[in-house]
Chains A and B, each alone.
Chain A
Amino acid sequence: MIASNGPVIPNFGQASSCVLANRTFCWDWARAHWHDTLWPALEQHIELTAIAVGIGFAISFALMFLAHRFNRVVQPIGIVSALLYTVPSLALFQLLVPFTGVTTTTVEVALVAYTLVILFPNMLDGLRSAPPEVLDAARGMGLTRSQILWRVEIPLAVPAIVSGLRIAVISTISIATIAATLLPKGLGYPIFFALQDPQPFKTEIYAAGALAIGLALACDGALVVTRRLLAPWAVRSQS
């Protein structure tokens, strides 16, 4: 498995002088291995992140309703998720192996756990950010409880929800690189692989690192635009 992805100087005959000298960054290597190494790693990384954030978002959304309805569950949820967050990600992956094996599931369970810590409190704060006079007016106008939730409280929570998503996405992209300690997946894998060589191949490390950063920036930008589209009122009120 490792050999198939092997970037490191296995074929002396074809390698460029840049690669042979292990210079800071070799464009020719990056171009040559875009299709067999970098792009698949990026694709896997996007998949790992999207699934983790998607599931985390869905669970947080459900927990948000629960907490909105039953205030008592807020503290237990907060404590459990905070405890989860204190476990180092490297350790959490290994701790889960006895239960879910060396699988993508293990990675996703850990990543989802981390998104919950970020998303749930943000969403709940957002839901509670509706000013009391707005709720008073809404009730006085004859909106039902569920109309108030869907037409007032949730729309008003959008800015906070998107802010939470921005942090969750960026941290998941970052933590997902550590998944490579378990599985040959994601942008962490080329880095991890290169680091195992006594003389780590710099181009590969930098290329994968730059892709991770680029992915995080692109997602963040997309979420900023999303927030603007979903909550135009929040943008304008700041001007």
Chain B
Amino acid sequence: MSSGAAEIVFDHVTKRYSGRDAAALSELSLDIPAGTFCVLVGPSGGGKTTALKLVNRLISFDEGDIRIDGRSILELSTVELRRGIGYVIQNVGLFPHLTIGENVGTVPKLLGWDKKRIQARTAELLELVGLEEGDAKRYPAQLSGGQRQRVGLARALAADPPVLLMDEPFGALDPITRHRLQQELRRLHKEVAKTVIFVTHDIDEAILMGDRIAILRNGGVLAQYDTPDAILAHPADDFVAEFIGEDRALRRLALHQLGDLELEPLPAASNNLLQASARSTVRNAVSLMLDAGTDSLVVAGDDGNPIGVLPLALATKLLQS
């Protein structure tokens, strides 16, 4: 179902707002490989939303260039460009006067798809984002906040754009709904293989969601651009170190699932009572061990049977890598 992803390149992009001395973005250069989930994160004033809106030209830049699959975005008309880019925002912005189905079908309709194709696509997308077919006939006001953002995502994916821009999409949701949608978006990203640029001010969300994270500081200066693991292991400077927090070692351990590690074999007589699921993170396992005052823990597979032992020392070794 995917028309593939596209590479996005920011090439020394600078943006100044009139009437302000400081630049909103200063010579931002980013290489976002096709299919990457790239998170822009930083304090407010870091220019992350500005950077996002430059890509679909809701905001224009002053210097530099942005290329999608090698082609400058200035070569296309804004309308053409935007129809090839999915756009999801914090307050969703569903059309209140259109049903859910009509909302999702907006861009396909503009592109001139026939009715049957739009209907089939809408049904497919509603299922993909976890809504029911019957929801297509409801109006946005009849949905919960979480459901609305699911519709927003479906609407952005409707014409199968290679690029998806998401501006704090989960910022207005309660923590439980937000967490569920974060998990689902990760799963969805694996399925639909889009290049995603995702803006958030929440470093936890950035670490959880991103294949790569770009940390922007005041004035739109890129502080660091790397994988979550590399940023947590080697923050580029004090600003990044402070931004990601003093518990960065623990955050790093949270990136690893127990099932992915090379565990030690089970001892013959396994009377060690402390046990954790293979799906749990090393961070959780370390917490359990510290709490119980032990230095090892049995890892259980999905069927509940033990598959190996995690010594506390292995966590330390992980952090040295």
Residues of A within 8 A of B (CB): 131, 133-144, 147, 152, 155-156, 158, 231-234, 236-237
Contacts and interface: CB of A to CB of B under 8 A. Distances in A.
B49 to A, nearest CB: 11
Contact of B79 (A134, A142, A152, A236): A142
Contacts of A234: 96-97
A236 B97 contact: no
Given A233-B141, A237-B141, A142 B81 contact: yes
B110 A155 contact: no
B82 A141 contact: yes
A236 B93 contact: no
Contacts of A232: 139
A140 B87 contact: yes
Contacts, number: 78
Contact of B97 (A141, A143, A231): A231
Which bracket fits the contact residues of B?
20 to 34
6 contacts: A134-B94, A136-B89, A137-B87, A139-B82, A141-B156, A158-B97
Interface string B130-166: 0000000001111000000000100110000000010
A237 B142 contact: yes
A233 B103 CA distance: 13
Interface of B: 56, 58, 78-83, 85, 87, 89-98, 106-107, 110, 139-142, 152, 155-156, 165
Contacts of B78: 142
Contact of B106 (A141, A231, A237): A141
A200 B106 CA distance: 64
A140 B95 contact: no
A168 B155 CA distance: 39
- Choose among B58, B79, B92, B95 the residue with the greatest number of A CB atoms under 10 Å from its CB: B95
Contacts of A136: 58, 89, 93
Contact of A142 (B83, B95, B96): B83
